[in-house]
Chains A and B, each alone.
Chain A
Amino acid sequence: AQKITQTQPGMFVQEKEAVTLDCTYDTSDQSYGLFWYKQPSSGEMIFLIYQGSYDEQNATEGRYSLNFQKARKSANLVISASQLGDSAMYFCAMRGETGANNLFFGTGTRLTVIP
């Protein structure tokens, strides 16, 4: 069964600095996908970035990049040049077991950007 672990309940970062949010996973599937979502205080979930298990390049989307280390089963999110609007909960998620069309989520990390 899939398992997603986010060990940082809360993180602080100075505005304009970079921050790394940790995510480790466990799966027996050879093919899988990893996702990161942002949840501001309004409650909606905003998709940030996706990494496929066979993608050789680390995914990047603007200020977001995914540090994918397959052998270590980690998929850390790096946010560069943090902005006050980045303050939110961040969730790592994994696509379900082969044939399943759903996502499993970690417990999240609350990021606070300090002016």
Chain B
Amino acid sequence: DGGITQSPKYLFRKEGQNVTLSCEQNLNHDAMYWYRQDPGQGLRLIYYSQIVNDFQKGDIAEGYSVSREKKESFPLTVTSAQKNPTAFYLCASSDGHLNTGELFFGEGSRLTVL
């Protein structure tokens, strides 16, 4: 079935370690996104990419990095520079036409820093 796969679903990290969250889509969508969700704060945009080899910072990009080497993949690295990385991370994709189309989301990855 077509969709977005995020892995791992749960991840624990020690302070000072970098971790990479995987996001893969087989919807043939051009655009992909990473959002962070904290309790009571809704979703906030970290990075998004509209085409391969191109991406833009969102509202809270500091301490994160991404790459978009393939259309179907958009991994997110949470670096040690991210001061409060414990959160729920959601990856999404769209056909690039948010004028009428919606975002399709994965099931999320929950990162906990010990």
Cβ-based interface call for B33 (8 A): yes
Of B42, B92, B94, B100, the residue contacting A108 (CB under 8 A) is: B42
Within 8 A of B (CB), among A99-115: 101-108
CA gap between A96 and B96 in the complex, in Å: 13
Cβ-based interface call for B74 (8 A): no
Known: A101-B31, A101-B96. A44 touches B102 (CB 8 A): no
Q: How far is the CB of B8 from chain A (nearest CB, A)?
A: 13
Q: How far is the CB of B65 from chain A (nearest CB, A)?
A: 18
The size bracket of the interface on A is: 20 to 34
Of A35, A42, A104, the residue contacting B102 (CB under 8 A) is: A35
Of A47, A101, A106, the residue contacting B48 (CB under 8 A) is: A101
Across the interface, which residues of B come within 8 angstroms of A45, CB to CB?
43, 90, 92, 103, 105
| Nearest residue, chain A, Cβ from B50 | A101
Known: A45-B92, A101-B50, A108-B42. A95 touches B99 (CB 8 A): yes
Question: Could you count the A-B residue pairs with CB atoms below 8 Å apart for me: how many are there?
Answer: 64
Cβ-based interface call for B106 (8 A): yes
Across the interface, which residues of B come within 8 angstroms of A68, CB to CB?
none
A45-B105, A52-B100, A108-B42 given; name 13 further pairs at CB < 8 Å.
Answer: A42-B107, A43-B88, A44-B105, A44-B106, A44-B108, A45-B103, A91-B42, A101-B94, A101-B96, A102-B33, A103-B45, A105-B43, A107-B41
Q: Which 9 A-B pairs have the closest CB atoms?
A: A45-B105, A47-B102, A43-B108, A105-B43, A105-B42, A107-B42, A44-B107, A95-B98, A102-B48
Question: Can you give 15 contacting A-B residue pairs, CB < 8 Å?
Answer: A4-B42, A33-B98, A33-B100, A43-B107, A44-B107, A47-B104, A50-B100, A52-B100, A95-B98, A95-B99, A101-B31, A102-B33, A103-B103, A105-B42, A107-B42
